[in-house]
Amino acid sequence: MKEDYFLEIIKKTLPESADFIGDDTAYIAEKDLILTQDTLIEDIHFRKSTISPYYLGRKSIAVNLSDIAAAGGVPAYALISLSMPENIEKTFIEEFYKGVHDICREYEIFVVGGDLTKSFQITISVCLVGFGNGLIPAGRKNAKAGDYVIVTGNFGSSRAGFEILENHLASDTLLKFVEAHVNPIPRIKEGRKILEIAQTPALMDASDGLADALSKICLFSNVEMRINFDDIPYDKDLSLLAKNEEEIFKWILFGGEDYELVGTVSEQSYKKLVDSKIPVKKIGVVVSPDNLPCPYVKFGNKIIKIDAELINKELFKHFL
């Protein structure tokens, strides 16, 4: 992917910063700071026709909270840079910041600054600050052979919501998918509990798709995974929208924007998580690599290798 290629250029150009680049967040140990930043751009990440300003405000914070959740951190402060056309409606600003206010209040974080600028399209960039509070944040490098691969929540629902909005579909049964797309729930509590119990889990969020998360953990940890597709949790009503099982497979593995957690923990830690009523599900195991580190997914009678070629073909790409 070009994004990965660009990141390698940045690491080489800023060698003193290379150790901070690669995970969902950066951890400044001497200050116990967890930092993350995400950007949403009109007509690339959202359309005004398919998401209200209120939910756009919520989502702009939620996607950053999801990164803090993937670190197992405790969120605290946010800075918001909002760029917009000169003729933007007053109601957009009011509703956007109402959404920001409500989700910040729910997760006990405070907006402490940011920037406002003029632009041709709406661009939202949020920096979120959190803390480890006595624990070293999780990362992508901690997976070990013998670990269980775990996830939170359902996959494919956000992609289904996107399809509904793009194709102007509507029914009471399908509204839950729209909700999953426009109003994701960051797994802050789950991420913290996973870190507290497992101590050194591999963990990241599935914002760019489940396949992407599994692949990056494999790559950074130099391991392979054996995943059973039938164990991946998803809403069975996806069948009401998808053309066939193959399309459901693609939505679940490559749909993106589910903002669920994906990680690896020891068998003992998994049992403790289940005993503690933490909503995680085992979907596979980690094994030592025979070849290039990547996940293998059992789908029916097939074993599908999730390699770079398949990911480049199926995943959403910022840089074409």
Same-domain status, 156 and 305: yes
Same-domain status, 83 and 9: yes
Residue with tokens 């289940």: 274
Q: What is the pLDDT of residues 162-195, one digit of tens each?
A: 999 988 887 777 899 999 999 999 999 999 999 9
Query: 142 lies in a domain?
Result: no
Same-domain status, 199 and 279: yes
Same-domain status, 280 and 164: yes
Angle of CA points 244, 247, 250, to nearest 5°:
155
Q: To which H or E segment does residue 84 belong? A: strand 74-84
Query: 156 lies in a domain?
Result: yes
Q: What is the pLDDT of residues 211-253, one digit of tens each?
A: 999 999 999 999 999 999 999 999 999 999 999 999 999 999 9
Which of 104, 131, 158 marks a domain boundary?
Answer: 131
In SS3 terms, 96-146 reads as: HHHHHHHHHHHCCCEEEEEEEEECCCCEEEEEEEEECCCCCCCECCCCCCC
Residue 274 three-state SS: helix
The whole-model pTM stands at 0.92
Find the domain containing 253 and state its range: 148-314
Query: 263 lies in a domain?
Result: yes
Closest CA to 33 of 22, 41, 25: 25
Which of 74, 96, 131 marks a domain boundary?
Answer: 131
User: Could you give the percent of the chain with pLDDT greater than 70?
Assistant: 95
Mean pLDDT of the chain: 93
Length of the chain: 320
Query: 297 lies in a domain?
Result: yes
pLDDT at 318: 44
User: 275 pLDDT exceeds 70?
Assistant: yes
Query: 137 lies in a domain?
Result: no
Query: 138 lies in a domain?
Result: no
pLDDT at 291: 83
Positive or negative torsion for Cα 86, 91, 96, 97: positive
Same-domain status, 171 and 299: yes
- CATH number, residue 51: 3.30.1330.10
- CATH number, residue 308: 3.90.650.10
Which of 81, 99, 131 marks a domain boundary?
Answer: 131
CA-to-CA separations, 189 to 25, 38, 74, 192, in angstroms, rounded: 17, 21, 9, 5
pLDDT at 195: 98
Same-domain status, 230 and 125: no
User: 2 pLDDT exceeds 70?
Assistant: no
